[in-house]
Chain A
Amino acid sequence: MSARPAPLWLTAGVVPLVNVAAAFLAAGLVIALIGENPLEALQIMLRGALGSQYGLGYTLYYTTSFIFTGLAVAVAFHAGHFNIGGEGQALMGGLGAALVALSLPFLPWPILLPLCVLGAALAGAAWVLIPAYLQAYRGSHIVITTIMFNFLAATLLVYLLVGPMKMAGSMAPETARFVPGATLPLMNQMAAWFGLTLTRTPLNLSFVFAILAAIMVWVLIWRTRLGYAIRTVGANPDAAVYAGISPARITVIALLISGGLAGLMATNEILGVQGRLINEFTAGAGFVGIAVALMGRGHPFGIVLAALLFGVLYQGGAELAFDKPKITREMIIVIQGFVILFAGALEMMFADRIASLYQRFAGQPVSA
Chain B
Amino acid sequence: MSEAFQIILLAVDSAIRLSVPLLFACLAGLYSERAGVVDIGLEGKMLIGAFAAGATASLVPNPWMGLLAAVLASVLFALVHGFASITQRGNQIVAGVAINVLASGLTAILGNAWFNQGGRTPQLPSGARFNEIVLPFAESARAIPVFGAIYAEVISGHSVLVYGALALVPLTWFILYRTRWGLRLRAVGENPAAVDTAGLSVTALRYSAVIMAGILCGFGGAYLAIAQSAGFITDMTAGKGFIALAALIFAKWRPVPALGACFLFGLLDAVALRIQGVSFPGIGQVPVQAIQALPYLLTVVLLAGFIGKATPPRAVGVPYLKERS
Q: Which residues of A contact B (CB under 8 A)?
A: 30, 33-35, 82, 84, 130-131, 134, 138, 140-141, 143-145, 147-149, 151-152, 155-156, 158-159, 163, 287, 290-291, 294, 326-328, 330-338, 340-341, 344-349
Interface residues as binary, B54-81 with A (CB distance below 8 Å gives 1, 0 otherwise):
0000000000000000000000000010
How far apart are the CA atoms of A326 and B114 in the complex, in Å? 9
Q: Are A134 and B303 in contact (CB under 8 A)?
A: yes
Is B300 a contact of A163 with CB atoms below 8 Å? Answer: no
The answer, yes or no, to whether B304 is at the interface (CB within 8 Å) is: yes
The smallest C-beta distance from A41 to any residue of chain B, in angstroms, reads 12
B245 interface residue per 8 A CB criterion: yes
Does B90 count as interface, using CB distance less than 8 angstroms? yes
Q: Is the CB of A344 within 8 A of B245?
A: no
**In this complex, what residue of B is CB-closest to A325?**
B112
Q: Is the CB of A35 within 8 A of B113?
A: yes
Chain B residues closer than 8 Å to A141, beta-carbon distance = 303, 312
Q: Nearest 6 A-B pairs (CB), nearest first?
A: A333-B105, A337-B102, A334-B105, A345-B95, A337-B101, A34-B113
> In the complex, what distance in Å separates the CA atom of A247 from the CA atom of B282?
48
Select B289's contact among A159, A333, A341, beta carbons within 8 Å: A159
Q: List the A side residues contacting B239 at CB < 8 Å.
A: 151
Distance of A201 from chain B, by nearest CB (Å): 26
6 CB-based A-B contacts, threshold 8 Å? A148-B299, A148-B300, A330-B119, A337-B103, A341-B80, A346-B83
**A163 neighbours in B (Cβ, 8 Å):** 287
Taking the complex as formed, is B292 at the interface, i.e. its CB lies under 8 A from any CB of chain A?
yes
Instruction: Using known A-B contacts A130-B300, A348-B89, determine if residue A333 contacts B104 with beta carbons closer than 8 Å.
Output: yes
* Distance (whole angstroms) from the CB of B132 to the closest CB of chain A: 31
Most chain A beta carbons < 10 A, residue from B94, B290, B299 = B94
Could you tell me the distance between the alpha carbons of A326 and B94 in the complex, rounded to whole angstroms?
Answer: 29
> For residue B104, which residues in chain A have a CB less than 8 angstroms away from its CB?
330, 333, 337
Known contacts: A331-B105, A345-B90, A348-B88. The answer to whether A155 contacts B293 by CB under 8 A is yes
The residue of chain A having its C-beta at the shortest distance from the C-beta of B103 within the complex is A337
Contact status A30-B106, CB under 8 Å: yes
Contacts A156-B289, A344-B94; A338 near B249 (Cβ below 8 A): no
B91 within 8 A of A: yes
Q: Tell whether, in the assembled complex, residue A138 and residue B304 are in contact, meaning their CB atoms are under 8 Å apart.
A: yes
Determine which of B84, B93, B100, B304 lies in contact with A346 in the assembled complex, contact meaning CB atoms within 8 Å. Answer: B84
| Binary contact readout B297-309 vs A (1 if CB under 8 angstroms, 0 otherwise) | 1011001110000
Contact: B304 with A349, CB < 8 Å? no
Q: Are A344 and B98 in contact (CB under 8 A)?
A: yes
Chain A hits for B166, CB < 8 A: none
B245 x A147 contact (CB < 8 A): yes
Within the assembled complex, what's the spacing in Å between the Cα atoms of A130 and B299?
13
5 more A-B residue pairs beyond the given contacts A141-B312, A348-B90, with a C-beta to C-beta distance below 8 A = A33-B110, A34-B113, A287-B97, A330-B109, A340-B94
User: Do residues A326 and B98 form an inter-chain contact, with CB atoms below 8 A?
Assistant: no
B246 contacts the other chain (Cβ, under 8 Å)?
yes
Point out the residues of chain A lying under 8 angstroms from B40, CB to CB: 143, 147
Bound state CA distance, A156 and B292, in angstroms? 10
B94 contacts which of A30, A140, A147, A345 (Cβ < 8 Å)?
A345
Flag if B303 contacts A294 (CB, 8 Å). Answer: no
Q: How far is the CB of B287 from chain A (nearest CB, A)?
A: 5
CB-based contact B300/A345 at 8 Å: no
Instruction: Assess the B293–A336 pair: CB atoms within 8 A.
Output: no
B112 contact set on A, CB distance < 8 A: 326, 328, 330
Q: State whether A144 touches B303 (Cβ < 8 A).
A: yes
A291 to B102 Cα, complex, angstroms: 12
Q: Once bound together, how far apart are the Cα atoms of A159 and B98, in whole Å?
A: 30
Check B102 against A294 for contact (C-beta < 8 Å): no
B98 lies within 8 A of A144 (CB): no
Distance between Cα atoms of A294 and B92 in the complex (Å): 14
A137 to chain B, nearest CB (A): 10
* Distance of A345 Cα from B95 Cα, bound (Å): 5
Q: Which residue of B lies closest to A291 (CB)?
A: B101
Contact between A334 and B89, CB atoms less than 8 A apart: no
In whole angstroms, how far apart are the Cα atoms of A155 and B272 in the complex?
A: 13
The complex places the Cα of A335 from the Cα of B109 at a distance, in Å, of: 12
Identify which of B110, B287, B304 contacts A140 (C-beta below 8 A): B304
Contact flag A340-B303 (CB < 8 Å), given A148-B296, A345-B85, A346-B88: no
A333–B110 alpha-carbon span in the complex (Å)? 12
**Residue with the greatest number of chain B CB neighbours at <10 A, chosen from A131, A159, A290, A328:** A328
Please tell me if the beta carbons of A337 and B98 are within 8 angstroms of each other in the complex. Answer: yes
Residue of B nearest to A148 (CB): B296
At the interface, yes or no: B31 with Cβ under 8 Å from chain A?
no
A158 to B289, CA, bound (A): 8
Within 8 Å CB of B109, what residues of A? 30, 34, 327-328, 330-331, 334
Known: A144-B249, A326-B112, A336-B105. A345 touches B98 (CB 8 A): yes
CB–CB A156/B293 < 8 A: yes
A34 to B109 CA separation, bound complex (whole angstroms): 9
B105 engages A332 (CB within 8 Å) = yes
Of B85, B102, B297, B299, which one neighbours A334 at CB under 8 angstroms?
B102
| Contact assessment for B242 and A330 in the assembled complex, using a CB-CB cutoff below 8 Å | no
Shortest distance in angstroms between B192's beta carbon and chain A's nearest beta carbon?
A: 19
Return chain B residues, CB-CB under 8 Å to A335. 105
Complex contacts, B249 vs chain A, CB 8 Å: 144
- A160, closest chain B residue (CB): B289
Given contacts A143-B40, A341-B80, A344-B98, contact A151 B296 (CB under 8 A): yes
